[in-house]
Structure formats: C-alpha cells, structure tokens
Structure 1
C-alpha cells in the first residue's frame, strides 16, 4: 500500500479524509501502512504538509471532517477542515515534552478501538513533528527582532512585496507607516543601552496594544519601526498613526525620558514599487520631524 501524493488531490474540496483515500491506497496491511506514513512524514519539514499526510492516514481509520494542530509556533488546520458532532483531543508528548495539541472532528463516534489506532499513528508522527517544529521555530526567529519580538527588516521587505502583489491582483489597498522615536539617542548617551532597551520594549508593547493582531508590526533596528496596513485599515491609516503617537506618549519609560514618536504615512498607488512607497513614507516621516516632532504626516 502506498500513500497518494498531495499534488494529485484537490484537498480543499474534499468532503472528508476518508473520501480522498480510495481503496487502492488503503487496502494493505496495518504494519506496512504505518511504515509508509512514517517514511512520507520524514520527507517534509513543513508542518502544514505533515498535517495533511497525517490527516489522510487518520481518515482511513475513521471518516473525519477536520483535523487541527495547536503548537507553540502556530495553529494549523488540515485543508477542508470543518466542525462535526464528535471531537477527540490528544496531546502529542515526546519524552515528557508536549509538542502539540491535536483535535479530530467526525460525524461518527470515537470508539476505544478507533482512539487506540489513532494513538498508534500519533506515535509515528512524534519525531518528524519535533523536527518540523524546530525548523519552523528557527525560521520564525530569523524574521523577528530579538529584543521586541516584532518583525525585522527582512520580514518587512517580504511582507511589503506580498501586500503590493495582492493589491495588484485584487485591486486592493495597502499602506506603510514609518515611526521614529524623538529624543531617543540622548537616552542611550546619558543613561545607557539598558534604559534604551526598556523604551524600545515599551514602544513595541504600545504598538501591540493599539493595533489588532492582524496588523503587521516591525522594528528595523535602532529606534525605527514600521506598520503595514492592508484592506479597510488603509482608509484609517492617519487615525491609526495618531493613536500610535498617543499610546507611546503614555508609556511610563517614554514619559520618564521625554521620548515621543513621529510617524510618516504613505498609501500605495497603482504601479508604485515597494521602494517608491517606502521612500514616500520616509519623506512624510521627515516632514513630521521638521514640523516639531510627536506628530503624524501623510504623503
């Protein structure tokens, strides 16, 4: 028995994971099935792809409407997942470490025999899952600023390119807000980098509390930050900029050292490149600084 390739199946349109696994794939012995699943899982370090493979194998045990995976690096759903009458949850443990939480959904009940068979599959997944989690975590760390946890410049550049491409395809909108701290350099000079780090962390916290989780937040290094807005948020970009300025002004460490923020905003125009959009926002930022700081200017 051999697993069918993911590329050969239109997973988003599958009604259940039992439905996409035909008899020709699933009629062989149980031991060979587990060995083949393990071999396939070991060929990928992508969490979403591993989940798809696992869900297909689990769907052979019981018709499933959905499989969800919760990890420290994010939450994932097998393609086409939907809620159902019955749910079964499992903790994927490896050497006393919880790797993930797994939830199955089915319109059929989870009998003790079904649960036992699912647990056998889960054991096969543990080591490939651990390896995929490590790789995913390293990839995330490469795109994050270590001090604030915000996205770094590389992540910003990638996100901006994707936002512009999406706007072109859908005739949508995107905007860039560049934020620079006023009077920050004198804090580092007079009180040291520890005080400066406290301010940077406080600013990141203010940005998180002001903006929704769907907004993209970045720190370029030093005291430079950015926000990438898409969709309906673009029309409120100036209001969002003013909220950020006020939120930062209310932070204790910022008040203590008289640190404020200036913001420059630029909305993407048709056929405008990522570089031109960034330059427009940067010019607006300098206009805010020249106008007296602690304010917002829009290109």
Structure 2
C-alpha cells in the first residue's frame, strides 16, 4: 500500500516514485517512529540493506560511552563519522564478508543524512532518561533505577534459576558528621563512599543511592555467602581514613545482606535486606549481617579487635 508521499509523487509527475526515492521516503518516515537507539539503528539497517548489503552494523558514541551492535560483524567495513551542525553524533560502521565499493560508500552517504536528526533526538532522549534514573550527587543509580533494575533482575534470576543477592548499606553516624562539619563535608563523604563502593564491587554488580546515607547493591548470579564476603570487603575498604574539606575523617558502614527465595518479590527481598541492616546497626554498627532467607539463623561479621 502506497504511503501519502508516494501518491503525491505519482499525482505530480504522472509516474510511480523511483525505487531509491521511494525507499528514502519510506525510511525517513520509519525513523520518526522511535526514540530508542537500538530500534532506530535496526530500522536504518533494514532500510539500506537492499542498496548497501551488509551483515553487521555497529554504532559508537564515545562521549556518551555508548556502543550498539546490530547483527553480526564482518571482515570488511564501511565507516562514517556522523556530524549535524558541528554536533558530534558518533560513528556508524557497516560490515560484511566482502569489500565495499566506492559506489557502496556513496549510497551509504546518500542515506546517512536521513538518520542524523532522528539519531540526535534519540541521543537526547537517552540522556534525559539516564539523568532521570541517576542520583546527581553521587552519579549512582537512584531509587527509581533500583526498583526497575531489581524487578528486571529478579525475573531473570527466576527464569534462569540463578541466585540473586542484595546489600543494603548505611553510613554510621553520618548525621553527626553532617551536623558538625556541614553539608559540604557531608556531600564530600557521600561521593567518596560512592567511589569506594563502585571500585570495590564487581563489574556485574549494580550500585544505587537508596536515599540519604543509605545505599543498595544488586548482585546477580551471587549466592548469600559470596555476597557476604563482598560486603565484608566493602566494610573494610570504607574504614580507610579520608580527608573531606580539610577535615580528616574515618567513616564506617553497616551492611545488611540477603538472597532471593522462591517466595520473594522485590518488596520482600529489599525488606529483608533492610531488616538485616537494622540488625547490623542494633548489634553495634560497623559490621555486616547476613539474614538467612528462611529466618532460622543469621551470620554477623563484626570488626576484629587487634
């Protein structure tokens, strides 16, 4: 079925729209239908396939630390730098098993301009969505991001039958430090703790600021013993002295640890981790407390006296 632009062309020129022109018009319309970068590149790849055959498409935007791939990579590449009115939009690469000709490159160029405005809109949307899920002070994910990530990872763990653990962390006596030295020092301490957290966890773990001086870590494919070992490593790393605003400070952290059970949902899993954190606080702070999911026992790791 012809689109309206096809009909207008036929009415004006008395003949069907040429294939290349029709493909350009159709692709332009398709690219207006999404703000998701992955979907946008899939549509672009499909639209240019009959004119520049390829087996793979890769997109990279270094300033956004963004890499997206569509289909399989090949031995030969046709690479284009994307710029719109001096705005860097990244790099797009087609690949396949045989060399690209000069004509292939020119055809690729003729379609690239259709992608620029939709891609810029998609990048801005992606940035806005990321900012909406990121804590501005620490750069970690916020509560909204935690809720969305936990729901996704819980479903994934159920489907795979794999373990999932959660840490809840709270800086000990943070309010006292904040009241004594001021909010600037308090903010410095929160940023410092966030860096320690990010540098201590594994690449597969995800860190969030839950609120105030409370943080959370989601640990996919991790059983309770492994989670407790990592929690203890975090606790020890936090104890190293640090200077904030000219004030030498030594902070400590209490950590609650728990793992997913068959009966858990997001609320019960986080709630049990929060209860384990409360126990760590009640038992003297600066310790990790592993809550047994069955509620029959728990493990408390207190600092060792020298």
| Superposed pair shares fold, TM > 0.5 | yes
After TM superposition, give the deviation of residue 69 of structure 1 in Å.
Answer: 1.2
The answer on whether the counterparts of 1:181 and 1:259 sit within 8 Å (CA) in structure 2 is yes
After TM superposition, give the deviation of residue 247 of structure 1 in Å.
Answer: 2.0
Cα deviation per residue 1:72-129 (whole Å; 9 max; x = unaligned)? Answer: 1622112xx2221112222111111111221221112122221111112111100011
Cα gap change, 1:2 to 1:292, in 2 (>3 Å)? farther
Tell me what 2:21 maps to. 31
Secondary structure of the structure 2 residue equivalent to 1:93: strand
After TM superposition, give the deviation of residue 280 of structure 1 in Å.
Answer: 1.1
**Residue 116 of structure 1 pairs with residue 109 of structure 2:** no
Tell me what 1:217 maps to. 207
Cα deviation per residue 1:6-27 (whole Å; 9 max; x = unaligned)? Answer: xxxxxxxxxxxxxxxxxxxxx9
Tell me what 2:301 maps to. none
**Residue 263 of structure 1 pairs with residue 255 of structure 2:** yes
Tell me what 1:22 maps to. none
Find the aligned partners of 1:233 and 1:2 in 2 and give their Cα distance: 57
Cα gap change, 1:38 to 1:98, in 2 (>3 Å)? same
TM-score (norm 2): 0.84
Tell me what 2:51 maps to. 61
After superposition, the CA RMSD in angstroms is 2.1
Find the aligned partners of 1:217 and 1:108 in 2 and give their Cα distance: 44
After TM superposition, give the deviation of residue 214 of structure 1 in Å.
Answer: 2.3
Q: Which one of the candidate residues 154, 177, 195 is aligned to 1:205?
A: 195
Find the aligned partners of 1:277 and 1:44 in 2 and give their Cα distance: 35
Cα deviation per residue 1:171-215 (whole Å; 9 max; x = unaligned)? Answer: 221111000001211121111111111111111111111122321
The answer on whether the counterparts of 1:73 and 1:133 sit within 8 Å (CA) in structure 2 is no
After TM superposition, give the deviation of residue 28 of structure 1 in Å.
Answer: 4.9
**Residue 52 of structure 1 pairs with residue 42 of structure 2:** yes
Cα deviation per residue 1:252-275 (whole Å; 9 max; x = unaligned)? Answer: 248922211111001111111221
Find the aligned partners of 1:228 and 1:186 in 2 and give their Cα distance: 28
Find the aligned partners of 2:40 and 2:53 in 1 and give their Cα distance: 19
Secondary structure of the structure 1 residue equivalent to 2:185: helix
Cα gap change, 1:2 to 1:249, in 2 (>3 Å)? farther
Q: Which one of the candidate residues 275, 292, 295 is aligned to 2:284?
A: 292
Cα deviation per residue 1:133-158 (whole Å; 9 max; x = unaligned)? Answer: 11111111111111111111111112
Secondary structure of the structure 2 residue equivalent to 1:42: coil
Q: Which one of the candidate residues 150, 168, 171 is aligned to 2:161?
A: 171
Find the aligned partners of 1:75 and 1:186 in 2 and give their Cα distance: 43
**Equivalent residues in 2 for 1:96-115, closer than 5 Å:** 96-115=86-105
| Bigger Rg, structure 1 or 2 | 2
**Equivalent residues in 2 for 1:187-198, closer than 5 Å:** 187-198=177-188
